[in-house]
Amino acid sequence: MSSSFTSLQELRELVKLVNTSFTGIEKACATQKTDLPALNGTFSWQTEGILNDPEVEKASSVITAAASQLAAAVRSPMLSLFAVANQYFLSVSLGISLKTHIPEILREVGSKGLHINEIAARGQSGINPDKLGRILRLLATNHIFREVMPDTFANNRVSGSMDCGKNVKDIIADPDSKYDGTASAAAMLELSTVDGTVSFADISKMLFDPKYANSGKPNETAFNIATGSDLPFFEWLSEPAQAVNNKKWATAMNSFDQFTAQDVILKGFDWEALPKGSTVVDFAGGVGGQAMILAKEFDHLNFVVQDRAPIIENDATKFWKEKFPEAISSDRVKLQSHDIFSPQPVKNAAVFVVRAITHDWSDEYCIKFLKQLRAAATSNTQLVVIDNVIAYACPDSQETLDIPGAAQVRPVSPTPLLPNFGTASAMTYLLDISLLAGLNGKERTVAQFADIYQKSGWKLVSVHADGFNYHDIKTIAVPV
């Protein structure tokens, strides 16, 4: 641990980690005969591919964690604290850049950039150019956009990744459809920075209000305090008045496919070993994207895709008819409307797949729907939950690490880094608080997954982590 080092020794070790990891990235680039995409270059998914290389991903995490720890060690504590206290302004500034279509405007003018007066005019938002320039300068200071000359800004690789790809004139003519037909992660960024920040600001009210403080209900959250709505977030999102936000949400969910390898669902569980004709239930599976990947790969299996009636009857039906109609016509795949808290109608499932669902709910609600699955399970049914798994910021000696695969959820970090790789893993912890604010949901440790399984009649038997991150980790359980 870092406590065994003097301050200068710790700094020296951190610098060594950066240098060693950089050498690893150089070797990976040489092997693949490519280069890392430049920070001030143009964003494209093709050039980002090298970052998905396992060795580069690991080296990147080490460098990110070490650089952050270096900064924390050498910077005045008060400067660090004030920077954190004012991060809200950075989030809001990012949202303003999206609302005024800056990434798209700057894409159309290229690397030479555009003066703030012209940016404001092209965006037709009515925003004051001087104030917009100050917003963009804060972002550029944080490596989002570039200030190429005084008051003249251009995209860099980071800001370019927010570009939805549409013509600016078309966006301005119909801003509500800006993200329609795209796979832009900017839709989620806009929801988080513009439409969602109001609920984040009310987390403190949620935590100190007697009604909300100990509640696990999905409609007793910071989001409900902020909006005054009694509806859980997803029901609120389905209201006619939220049609635009609902479209953004759907686009944001689809955009995550850009960040996740399509074959992740295939790994960590022996689908091939399931007997011919076995039924796999894609529980709360949306349109059934994961089931489709499995159905195309394993033609000896049958599938049931379950979700709320509007999703099944409209989106899922269209999705399968367009992309894999023969699976529906042959009856290999069934689309079934289902409320997750109602009794499970499929009684002969070989596997229940639950992907990116548990983190949306508090423990008490997870236990409710897991009990419904347990009641419908046979003695041979397996539960495959695919979700984020969070790690502690200290060494973990819990008994769950004896479960096969649990210790590999996160590789051991090199000394003197934090055991959870610090800010290199920050996204999962930020998402955890976002889930708390909006849904009363939570990201869980391996031990916490084991606990909700035990309380709902399941037993955690193995864990599979694919890649160097906390995402799409499989926890596999069997009936008790």
Mind listing the pLDDT tens digit for each residue in 234-262?
899 889 998 888 888 877 776 665 556 66
Q: Alpha helices, DSSP H only, in 33-150? A: 54-74, 77-85, 87-99, 102-109, 116-123, 129-141
In our burial notation (b when 16+ CB lie closer than 10 A, e otherwise), range 6-16 reads: eeeebbebbee
In our burial notation (b when 16+ CB lie closer than 10 A, e otherwise), range 321-330 reads: eeebeebeee
Residues serving a catalytic function are 359
Looking at domain 86-177, its CATH class is mainly alpha
Mind listing the pLDDT tens digit for each residue in 340-370?
999 999 999 999 999 999 999 999 999 999 9
The boundaries of every CATH 1.10.10.10 domain in the chain are 86-177
Global confidence as pTM: 0.91
Mind listing the pLDDT tens digit for each residue in 77-124?
999 999 999 998 999 999 999 999 999 999 999 999 999 999 999 998
Q: What pLDDT does 296 receive?
A: 97
Residues 31, 50: Cα–Cα separation, whole Å: 11
Q: pLDDT band for position 1 (50/70/90)?
A: very low
Strand order in the sheet with 114-115: 114-115, 152-154, 146-149
Q: pLDDT band for position 445 (50/70/90)?
A: very high
Average pLDDT over residues 302-318: 94
**Contacting residues for 330 by C-beta, under 8 A, at least 6 apart:** none
Q: What pLDDT does 470 receive?
A: 74
- CATH number assigned to the domain covering 258-479: 3.40.50.150
The boundaries of every CATH 3.40.50.150 domain in the chain are 258-479
Q: Enumerate helices (H) and strands (E) in the chain, giving the number of each.
A: 22, 10
Regarding predicted confidence, which is higher, 379 or 190?
379
3-state SS assignment for residue 298: coil
Residues 246, 243: Cα–Cα separation, whole Å: 5
Residues 448, 362: Cα–Cα separation, whole Å: 11
H or E segment to which residue 154 belongs: strand 152-154
3-state helix, strand, coil split of the chain in percent (to 5) is 55, 10, 35
